[in-house]
Structure 1
Amino acid sequence: MVEGVAWVAVDWGTSNLRVWGLDRSGEIRAEASSAKGMARLDRDGFEPALLALIGDWLPAGRPTPVLACGMVGARQGWVEVPYRQVPCTPVALEQVGRPPTRDPRLQVMIVGGLSQAAPADVMRGEETQIAGLLLDRPGFDGVLCLPGTHTKWARVQGGEIVAFHSVMTGELFALLAQQSVLRHSLDGDGWDDAEFARAVSETVAEPAGFIGRLFSVRAEALLAGLTAAGARARLSGLLIGAELAATQAYWKDEAELTLVGNGAQAAHYAEALRALGRTPATADGTLVTLAGLRAAWQQLTKDLA
Structure 2
Amino acid sequence: MAQKVDFYPDFFYLSLILPASKIMQTANRILSCDWGTSSFRLRLIDTETRQCIAEVTSDNGNASIFNRWKAQPESNRLRFYLAYLQEGVDALAKKAGGRLNDVPILVSGMASSTIGMKELPYGNIPFAIDGHTAKAEWIDAKPFLPNDVLLISGVQSENDVMRGEEVQLVGVMSQVDLKKDIGALFLFPGTHSKHIRVQNGEIVEFNTFMTGEMFEVVAKHSILAHAVTSITSDQDIESFRKGVEKALDTDLLNSLFSVRINQLKNRMTAEQNYFYLSGLLIGAEVKYIQSDDDSNVVLCSSGKLLKLYENALDCLGLSRKVVVIESGILDAAAAAGQIEIFKNFRIKR
Deviations 1:274-302 (A, max 9, x none): 1211121011422333321222233333x
Deviations 1:145-166 (A, max 9, x none): 1112211111111111111111
Q: CA RMSD in A?
A: 3.0
Residue type of the alignment partner of 2:244? V
Aligned to 1:259: 299
After the TM superposition, which residues 185-200 of structure 1 pair with which residues of structure 2 at under 5 Å, given as runs? 185-190=228-233, 191-200=235-244
Alpha-carbon distance in structure 1 between the residues aligned to 2:225 and 2:117: 33
TM-score by length of 1: 0.84
Residue in structure 2 matching 1:114, options 134, 137, 155: 155
Query: Sequence identity of aligned pairs in percent?
Result: 29
Deviations 1:138-191 (A, max 9, x none): 633221111122111111111111111111111111222333343343254333
Aligned to 1:66: 105
Residue type of the alignment partner of 1:83? Y
1:68/1:123 Cα in 2 relative to 1: closer, same or farther (>3 Å)?
same
Q: In structure 1, list runs of 5 or more residues that go unmatched.
A: none
Deviations 1:17-53 (A, max 9, x none): 3332113533211124333333444163755664565
Corresponding residue SS for 2:243 = helix
Residue in structure 2 matching 1:163, options 183, 205, 209: 205
Aligned length: 298
Alpha-carbon distance in structure 1 between the residues aligned to 2:138 and 2:223: 41
Larger-gyration structure (1/2) = 2
Deviations 1:173-224 (A, max 9, x none): 1222333343343254333110101100111122x2x223324434534651
TM-score by length of 2: 0.74
After the TM superposition, which residues 266-285 of structure 1 pair with which residues of structure 2 at under 5 Å, given as runs? 266-279=306-319, 280-284=322-326, 285=330
Aligned to 1:18: 41
1:216/1:164 Cα in 2 relative to 1: closer, same or farther (>3 Å)?
same
1:61/1:223 Cα in 2 relative to 1: closer, same or farther (>3 Å)?
closer
1:255/1:80 Cα in 2 relative to 1: closer, same or farther (>3 Å)?
same
1:157/1:123 Cα in 2 relative to 1: closer, same or farther (>3 Å)?
same
1:180/1:139 Cα in 2 relative to 1: closer, same or farther (>3 Å)?
same
After the TM superposition, which residues 112-151 of structure 1 pair with which residues of structure 2 at under 5 Å, given as runs? 112-117=153-158, 120-135=159-174, 136-137=176-177, 139-140=179-180, 141=182, 142-151=184-193
After the TM superposition, which residues 6-45 of structure 1 pair with which residues of structure 2 at under 5 Å, given as runs? 6-25=29-48, 26-42=50-66, 44=69
Alpha-carbon distance in structure 2 between the residues aligned to 1:232 and 1:49: 39
